Amino acid sequence: MIEKEDSIISEEEAAQYDRQIRLWGLDAQKRLRGSRVLLVGLRGLGAEVAKNLILAGVKGLTMLDHELVTEESCRAQFLIPVSNQGQNRAQASLERAQYLNPMVEVKADTDRVETKPDEFFLQFEAVCLTGCSRDLMVRVDQLCVRNNIKVFCGDVFGYHGYMFSDLGQDHNYVEEKPKVVKPKTESNDGPEAKKTKIDPNETTMIKKTACFCSLKLALEVDWTNEKAKSSLKHTPHFSTTRSIVLSPCVPLFFPTVLLKFRTDKGRDPHPESFEADAMLLRQIRDDVLEAMGLSSELLPHDFVSYCFSEMAPVCAVVGGVLGQEVVKALSQRDAPHKNFFFFDGMKGSGVVDYFGPK
């Protein structure tokens, strides 16, 4: 639950967050101010999410990463000085992250997330997992949702990225809508005067509730049933060119293949082992799609050419959306993305779609 202590915004904080308070209101900023977030993974995507959450003004951000800084990890990670190679990634990111906003309590944790007990995750209002294995994400998601903690996952693979959110069975939020002006019943000015009108100068807050499913259920869609098949009937094959529009259903298969590679190899595809990794990726694609009862042609032969390393611009887009969704969930303002966002850097376009029980 979001903390109630320190709910009063100080004059210094009001000045710091003036633009945001005007944008989404004082109550939403207070909710952010009372929220602690765990961010796992400090590669390029993690750095973007950290920046966005710190600038938004959460109460505290814990950055957890046990990996060491390498030359490659510095390419899309702007929080780590290039001279810090060999140091822990979370620790090396701490100074620049804290400098972004001294009012946020920023901490670095150098442990492996897999070694953390369940109790560790319960101290946060939101947990954001990047660069993690599928099994870990499923475990943490199930644990956190049982304890009313918001869960977010995300990754960037070359030109492609995605994010997932699980806000629980009953996520309450408010949306600001233009005020509807009802016509006067006694008006004699004709039919136009009796029509309902929208006043652009006034708004009203509408309370709503959204229901989310677990990551496990979202990844276990049965593609053999008729409803799922119908969504693929007119789906063009996944393409790495700009000439074909990407169907909302197909992007899910891309991270599914990459997450299976991560599970099998304990790492992501690496440019130095491109030939061997590309061969394994194609084999995993065949196995994964065959197990789903789908054609391997949904991911063409050359998909492996666009999924190595992290592209900084893709990290910026996906990290911006992911950070925004965390802020929206914690502040309880505006409709959340339900439940996946996929970004294709080859075409510069993204899509939001829902996978899981209807």
Q: Is the pLDDT of residue 353 over 70?
A: yes
* pLDDT attached to residue 82: 87
Helices (H), the chain: 11-16, 18-24, 26-33, 44-56, 89-100, 118-121, 134-146, 215-218, 226-233, 253-265, 274-291, 312-331
Q: Which amino acid is at 215?
A: L
Which comes out higher in pLDDT, residue 232 or 110?
110
Tokens of 353: 């779609």
Per-residue pLDDT, averaged over 229-258, amounts to 58
Kindly give the interhelix angle for 26-33 and 312-331, rounded to the nearest 10 degrees: 110
* pLDDT attached to residue 3: 47
Burial 156-177 (b: 16+ CB within 10 A, else e): bbbbbbbbbbbbbeebebbeee
Per-residue pLDDT, averaged over 20-35, amounts to 86
Pick from 256, 326, 354: nearest CA to 61: 326
Distance CA 307, CA 159 (A): 6
Binned at pLDDT 50, 70 and 90, residue 330 comes out as very high
Helix (H, G, I), strand (E, B) or coil at 173: strand
Taking CA atoms, 255 is separated from 100, 278, 322, 343, in Å, by 31, 15, 16, 11
Which comes out higher in pLDDT, residue 227 or 162?
162
Distance CA 176, CA 331 (A): 13
- Work out the mean pLDDT of the chain and round it to a whole number: 86
Q: Is the pLDDT of residue 9 over 50?
A: yes
Helix (H, G, I), strand (E, B) or coil at 335: coil
Identify the burial level of 96 via C-beta atoms within 10 angstroms of its C-beta, where 0-12 means exposed, 13-18 middle and 19 or more buried. middle
Distance CA 128, CA 217 (A): 18
The ranges assigned to domains in the chain are: 16-170+311-352, 217-235+246-305
Binned at pLDDT 50, 70 and 90, residue 231 comes out as low
Q: Decide if 314 contacts 156 (C-beta within 8 A).
A: yes
Tokens of 131: 């660069």
Distance CA 66, CA 82 (A): 18
Distance CA 64, CA 82 (A): 20
Tens-place pLDDT, residues 155-193: 999 999 999 999 999 999 988 887 776 666 655 555 555
Strands 105-109 and 60-64: parallel
Binned at pLDDT 50, 70 and 90, residue 205 comes out as confident
* pLDDT attached to residue 234: 43
Helix (H, G, I), strand (E, B) or coil at 349: strand
Instruction: Identify whether 148 is preceded by a cis peptide bond (ω within 30 of 0).
Output: no
Burial 98-131 (b: 16+ CB within 10 A, else e): beebeebebebbeeebeebeeebbeebbbbbbbb
* pLDDT attached to residue 264: 95
* pLDDT attached to residue 242: 39
pTM given for the model:
0.88
Q: Is the pLDDT of residue 24 over 60?
A: yes
Which comes out higher in pLDDT, residue 16 or 90?
90
* pLDDT attached to residue 183: 67
CATH superfamily of 16-170+311-352: NAD(P)-binding Rossmann-like Domain (3.40.50.720)
CA-based Rg of the chain, rounded to a whole angstrom?
22
Least confident among 90-104, 105-119, 343-357: 343-357
Distance CA 12, CA 6 (A): 13
* Length of the chain measured in residues: 358
Q: How many CB atoms lie within 10 A of CB 324?
A: 19
Binned at pLDDT 50, 70 and 90, residue 241 comes out as very low
Q: Decide if 285 contacts 277 (C-beta within 8 A).
A: no
